[in-house]
Amino acid sequence: MTQSFLLIFQPKNRAGRRPRKLVALAMCLSLMVFLLAACGEVTPTDKTTGLLINEVFTGQASDGVQWIELLNNSDTDLALEGYRLDTTRGTLDVSGLASANGRGLLPKGAIVVFSNAPKQVNDQIYQLLYEAAPTDADKANIRRPLLPISESKIIGKLDPNKDFVVLKGTDGKVVDQVGWGGVDQGVRASLGADSDINTNLPTPKYNDKSLGRTPQFGQRPANDPGQINPGPFTLHNTPTPGTNTTPRSLISRGFVLNELTNAIAAIGGALLWVAFFIIALVAKRFETLSEQKTYWQYLMAAPAGIFIYTVIQVQDFVRQGSLSDFWSWPAFLALFVSGVACVYVINIFRLIAKNILQSE
Amino acid sequence: MVFGDYFYNPLTSSPALFLDFGFLFLAIALFWFARILGELLEIIQKPPLENMVRVSGWLLILTFSVPHYLARAVIYPNLTADQGLWTWLFIFRTFSSVGALVAAILALVPVYMYWRWTSK
């Protein structure tokens, strides 16, 4: 085995240079660091664990139905006393408006929607979300009423083409902000916004679009505030006022995209494992012929993770139709370990076989 | 990062990255085995079936690792913003599964053939 280790971890090649693979690896790591750095901050304060602007709907016309959604992404109930929304149209004091639980507090993880509509707005969107909600509890959550604001100078007056909304805290400092259409820096400064974060987003000037935060990992875990990881604002093709759940597809997957795909995935995993298993048998035969060790036992054990991955997949396919988040951890980890092990042992086999074939 | 209407998360989630890199490593293992198989097939004077193993490795990367990464980095984070992306998620999943099946067959056939030829 010592010889095999030496074969793999040669620090320099014959020309006395570092292998090119190391350079490629360093480049990949550099690219990943660059991508990480490019993720950047998503609020002016770089904090996403407090009260946030979560979604803004302006509609097509400035005198139609509009709403602004706030999210309490902290792990405590939040008193909204002293918070206010500043826009180019004026100021909206949100104190008392968000007394969702009757105590003037916005519960942790809760969402509040300020709208100029007296009742629920945009029935089509509500119906869309309602039908696609995974559980009855989610459906009840989606039916949460909006908080109507009468005689508002802001909600219902926002310019769909170009406007700016600033959320300020109790100390008057900017907590969050969102702007679209390229509002002038002077206007932004007059509202107290001195950061460029979320200042020039695409205009949500459509009746079926909104500007909303997109969770960084695609998940909005209910009742788990502080873990929602709100990402940057994007133009949403599905406005979701008053909900923090991920609606499921309204389109039926059908036989091909569901059962057949599950069967194909399971058969593919099993055949891949068989292929690596036979590679071990080939190594065993090579050992018999050459009378030199090929470590075929390790080759046989290495792809076990592929088998485990396939078994877990089949188990979840049968039980619930798709791989669950819980079981994806052991399944994917087993496959990863198997991949690393296969690369390692096949490289040993490759180098041993190469030496034997060259000597003969 | 935001591209057009969609948010892109390069890190996706840890389990998803494990799967992507796992299949990437399996593809590298197949590439390295193809080199050995090529020489072994040459010795027994059989057709160069090792190219099928190479294609299998590329299929694992191009039809499984890359689409799965894109699905987790682009489609999955935007599901809350666009319900229409569910359809793409299903299509990517089917595409990846078919790619993995074809890759497995392409890896299995030459290995099995060599094993069978040397059994005689």
Q: What secondary structure does DSSP assign to B31-47, as a single string?
A: HHHHHHHHHHHHHTT--
Q: Which of B23, B43, B97 lies nearest to residue A264, judging by beta carbons?
A: B97
φ and ψ at residue A46, rounded to 5 degrees = 65, 15
Q: Which of B2, B39, B98 lies nearest to residue A357, judging by beta carbons?
A: B39
Read off the amino acid at residue A66.
Q
- A131 vs A126: CA distance, rounded Å: 9
Structure token digits, residue A174: 């900017």
Q: pLDDT (tens digit, 9 = 90+) per residue, A144-179?
A: 555 655 556 677 788 999 999 999 998 889 999 999
Query: In this model, does residue A93 exceed pLDDT 70?
Result: yes
- Residue predicted with more confidence, A54 or B9: A54
- A63 vs A200: CA distance, rounded Å: 22
Average pLDDT of the residues in A90-105: 66
What is the predicted pLDDT for the residue at A5?
Answer: 42
First to last CA, chain B: 58
Count the residues in chain B: 120
Question: Which helix (DSSP H) or strand (DSSP E) does residue A163 occupy?
Answer: strand A163-168
Q: pLDDT (tens digit, 9 = 90+) per residue, A269-316?
A: 999 999 999 999 999 998 988 888 889 999 999 999 999 999 999 999
Nearest to residue A180, comparing CAs of B7, B5, B78?
B5
Residues 6+ apart with CB under 8 A from A36: B10, B11
Q: Which residue's structure tokens are 């998940």?
A: A219
The answer to whether the CB of A149 falls within 8 A of the CB of A37 is: no
Structure token digits, residue A187: 């206007």
Nearest chain A residue to B94 by CA: give it: A261
Query: In this model, does residue A40 exceed pLDDT 60?
Result: no
Nearest chain B residue to A250 by CA: give it: B83
Query: In this model, does residue B38 exceed pLDDT 90?
Result: yes
- A159 vs A90: CA distance, rounded Å: 13
Nearest chain B residue to A260 by CA: give it: B94
B29 in contact with A, Cβ within 8 Å: yes
| Chain A residues lying within 8 Å of B11, measured CB to CB | 35-36
Mind giving me the DSSP string for A95-134? TTTT-TTSSSEE-TT-EEEEES-SS---HHHHHHHHHH-S
Looking at residue A205, the DSSP 8-state letter turns out to be -
What is the predicted pLDDT for the residue at A38?
Answer: 47
Query: In this model, does residue B94 exceed pLDDT 70?
Result: yes
- Residue predicted with more confidence, A91 or A110: A91
What is the predicted pLDDT for the residue at A4?
Answer: 45
Say if the Cβ atoms of A350 and B23 lie within 8 Å.
Answer: no
φ and ψ at residue A279, rounded to 5 degrees = -60, -40
Helices marked H in B44-117 — which ranges?
A: 50-59, 66-70, 85-117
Helix (H, G, I), strand (E, B) or coil at A160: coil
B44 in contact with A, Cβ within 8 Å: no
Say if the Cβ atoms of B22 and A267 lie within 8 Å.
Answer: no
Helix (H, G, I), strand (E, B) or coil at A136: helix
Lowest mean pLDDT among A160-164, A192-196, A252-256, A335-339: A252-256
- In this complex, how many residue pairs, one in chain A and one in chain B, have their CB atoms less than 8 Å apart? 213
Say if the Cβ atoms of A39 and B9 lie within 8 Å.
Answer: yes
Among A205, A216, A217, the strongest candidate for a mutation testing the B interface, having the largest count of B CBs within 10 A, is A217
B11 in contact with A, Cβ within 8 Å: yes
- A69 vs A169: CA distance, rounded Å: 16
Q: Which of B2, B21, B114 lies nearest to residue A339, judging by beta carbons?
A: B21
| Burial label, A246 (beta-carbon count in 10 A; 0-12, 13-18, 19+) | buried
Q: Do the interacting molecules here have an ipTM over 0.90?
A: yes
| Chain B residues lying within 8 Å of A257, measured CB to CB | 90-91, 93-94
Question: Which helix (DSSP H) or strand (DSSP E) does residue A169 occupy?
Answer: none
| Chain B residues lying within 8 Å of A260, measured CB to CB | 94
Count the residues in chain A: 360
B8 in contact with A, Cβ within 8 Å: no
The answer to whether the CB of A166 falls within 8 A of the CB of A195 is: no
Nearest to residue A46, comparing CAs of A149, A182, A176, A180?
A176
Sheet holding A67-72, edge to edge: A147-148, A111-115, A67-72, A51-57, A210-215, A230-236
